[in-house]
Amino acid sequence: MDASLSSLSLSDFDYTLPERLIAQFPPTVRDASRLLVVGADAFSDCTITDLPDQLQAGDLLVFNDTRVLKARLFGQKASGGQVEVLVERVLDSHQVLAHVRASKSPKAGSRLLLADRWEAEMVERQGELFRLRFTADADVLDILEASGKLPLPPYITRDAAQHDDSRYQTIYARHQGAVAAPTAGLHFTDTLLAALAAKGVGTAFVTLHVGAGTFQPVRVERVADHTMHSECYHISPATVEAIAATRQAGGRVIAVGTTSLRALESAAQRGTLQAGAGETTIFITPGYRFNVVDRLLTNFHLPKSTLLMLVSAFVGLDTMHDIYRHAIAHEYRFFSYGDAMLLSLTDTANGHRP
């Protein structure tokens, strides 16, 4: 076990956030968000439209093109009790793994009627999740699209509205399967992407289907004792080739969001980035040695969260606290619909790539 990891406590990643700074709604337009640029010696308060000025020709932005499912369904058990289902993962055309909230957990073989229309059988329990089988001929993705509700994060204290159906998706979302959006990508517009292309900045894509586990609190004080949730990802050969070409030409690889970073670093655990699909439980904490990513564009993360630990690994624990103190003092907007920051992997991070 890494000595630094063994000494880390959950309290090392705590900070006090005024509730008013938690963004409850997206900005009026996608690219109206602010951007905190973290340099070696100073912080710069910019806007997301300044991003092309912060990058160089030959750099490569790597986006996560997952698409958020309308993963929340409401219904009744056969006994008449109310039930709420949050799909965590689509297994095939008729089966899902889901969180089920009810006064009493459904037993294997029991039936649920969801959205007054769709019958599902509880097949078995898998840890905290339930495997459900929909009995209709319809594909489960079509069922969710027709009757599901968008699952906004728990810190957004309102019901999902019609505008969330589009604003809680990136403009390049393609592959259905996420329960939460890769929120750093929500800032991008066609205009901003065009400006980046004009600057000579390349783009590539990975897919990591974000699970509901991303919102689960860390329940242990000793960070090394935390068990990370599993998510599936896919890296295409074209993305591997684009990153290799960027490296060869002296460009930098910028992950758009922690999910893109986690997919890339998961696929490079043997030291070399590999194309293909896989499952990842990667847990990035201070002391981690990054293999792929040079810079990270990300939103601001929850106190004591695994994503805040990832940011601390990238810039160093002390710098992370400096960043968050600055962001709070300057009233940046936090979390999924909030503002962004641009970080560089530097020698202040214990895990700097040699």
pLDDT tens digit sequence for 76-119: 998 889 999 999 999 999 999 999 999 999 999 999 999 999 99
Flag whether pLDDT at 2 surpasses 80: no
pLDDT of the residue at 128: 87
pLDDT of the residue at 238: 98
Look at the block and give the residue holding tokens 């990238």.
314
pLDDT of the residue at 216: 79
For residue 122, report the phi and psi dihedrals to the nearest 5 degrees. -80, 110
Segment 272-293 mean pLDDT: 96
pTM of the complete model: 0.93
Q: Which amino acid is at 226?
A: H
Segment 221-246 mean pLDDT: 96
Question: How far apart are alpha carbons 190 and 170 in whole angstroms?
Answer: 11
Least confidently predicted of 4-18, 130-144, 304-318, 320-334? 4-18
CA atoms within 13 A on the CB side of 122: 24
Question: How far apart are alpha carbons 114 and 161 in whole angstroms?
Answer: 20
pLDDT of the residue at 214: 75
Helices (H), the chain: 3-7, 51-54, 140-147, 164-167, 190-199, 237-248, 258-266, 306-315, 317-329
pLDDT of the residue at 7: 85
Segment 260-270 mean pLDDT: 97
The residues, any chain, with a CB within 8 Å of residue 161's CB and separated by 6 or more, are none
Question: How far apart are alpha carbons 147 and 198 in whole angstroms?
Answer: 41
What percentage of the chain carries pLDDT values higher than 90?
Answer: 89
Look at the block and give the residue holding tokens 């960043």.
323
Check residues 295 and 352 and name the one with the higher pLDDT. 295
Contact 135, 109 (CB under 8 A): no
Give just the sign of the alpha carbon dihedral 305, 309, 312, 318: positive
Distances (CA, A) of 6 to 260, 286, 303: 26, 11, 20
pLDDT of the residue at 78: 87
Question: How far apart are alpha carbons 64 and 153 in whole angstroms?
Answer: 18
pLDDT of the residue at 89: 92
pLDDT of the residue at 5: 67
Flag whether pLDDT at 353 surpasses 60: no
Contact 95, 105 (CB under 8 A): no
Contact 253, 259 (CB under 8 A): no
Segment 17-38 mean pLDDT: 97
pLDDT of the residue at 40: 84
Look at the block and give the residue holding tokens 């092309």.
52
Look at the block and give the residue holding tokens 């004792």.
225
Give just the sign of the alpha carbon dihedral 209, 214, 220, 224: positive
* Total Cβ atoms within 10 A of residue 131: 17
Question: How far apart are alpha carbons 310 and 318 in whole angstroms?
Answer: 13
Beta bridge mates, 340: 35, 299
Flag whether pLDDT at 279 surpasses 50: yes
Per DSSP, the three-state class of 299 is strand
Contact 153, 299 (CB under 8 A): no
